[in-house]
């Protein structure tokens, strides 16, 4: 019962905050890119802080020293919506690769446009890959880190799905490091249950991988590291409650 109440409190507060932020974004779009990015970070960090206060869910980051001093391509496993917020708390400039449909959502889509995302059509096949490479190189040249969730969809706590090699391909074409990140957010923010569990989400940042060789090999290196890290994190209360 308490978990239901606390989770309801989170959603009510976060929904109100997101709507305010989204409408405010209509004005912010007229400002320079730096100001728009700052607004996106404010939204995410406030949301994470509210999650801690309402649900008792915090996060811990390991491996900050592994973050390159220059822009990179970030490749992370995807378990919940939480990691999209958490990465904003760690990196000052991010450009997410996401479905174009998300940018068309009324109100919310307005806000998503603030951070200069890369919208793709998943059904476009190779054309989508070309767009990610071209637009990704532009974001990296402008000082942004490009974030790609190579699984393409969320997976339950403790599981890692097959990786697309798009992130590795972009890193090699742009000659920037590929940075693997592992999270266990699904252990506390489960896909099959709207309620959140209190605890500490682990965010592990691995060693940056040099953009050399073939994309398939580089992609496998990132997947192997993330898969091992996720396995070492174990499962959380959401899995044990099943």
Strands 94-99 and 57-62: unpaired
Q: What is the mean pLDDT of the chain?
A: 91
Tens digits of per-residue pLDDT, 167-179?
999 999 999 999 9
- Give the predicted TM-score (pTM) of the model: 0.92
Domain architecture of the chain: domains with CATH: 2-240 (3.40.1130)
What's the pLDDT at 24?
Answer: 82
What are the beta bridge partners of residue 183? 203
Q: Annotate 68-94 with three-state secondary structure.
A: CCCCCEEEECCCCCHHHHHHHHHCCCE
What are the beta bridge partners of residue 57? 199
């Amino acid at each position: 019962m308490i978990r239901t109440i606390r989770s309801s409190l989170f959603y009510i507060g976060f929904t109100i905050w997101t709507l305010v932020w989204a409408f405010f974004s209509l004005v912010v779009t007229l400002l320079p890119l730096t100001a728009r990015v700052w607004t996106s970070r404010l939204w995410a960090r406030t949301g994470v802080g509210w999650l801690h206060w309402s649900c008792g869910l915090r996060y811990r980051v390991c491996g900050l020293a592994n973050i390159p001093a220059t822009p990179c391509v970030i490749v992370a496993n995807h378990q919940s919506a939480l990691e999209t917020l958490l990465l904003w708390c760690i990196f000052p400039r991010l450009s997410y690769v996401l479905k174009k449909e998300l940018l068309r959502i009324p109100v919310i889509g307005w806000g998503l446009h603030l951070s200069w995302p890369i919208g793709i059509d998943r059904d476009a096949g190779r054309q989508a890959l070309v767009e990610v490479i071209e637009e990704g190189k532009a974001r990296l040249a402008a000082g942004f880190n490009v974030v790609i969730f190579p699984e393409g969809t969320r997976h339950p706590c403790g599981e890692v799905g097959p990786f697309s090699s798009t992130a590795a391909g972009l890193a090699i074409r742009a000659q920037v490091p590929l940075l693997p990140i592992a999270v266990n957010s699904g252990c506390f923010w489960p896909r099959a249950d709207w309620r959140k569990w209190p605890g500490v989400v682990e965010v592990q940042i691995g060693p940056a991988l040099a953009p050399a060789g073939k994309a398939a090999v580089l992609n496998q290196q990132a997947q192997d590291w993330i898969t091992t890290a996720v396995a070492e994190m174990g499962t959380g209360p959401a899995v044990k409650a099943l």
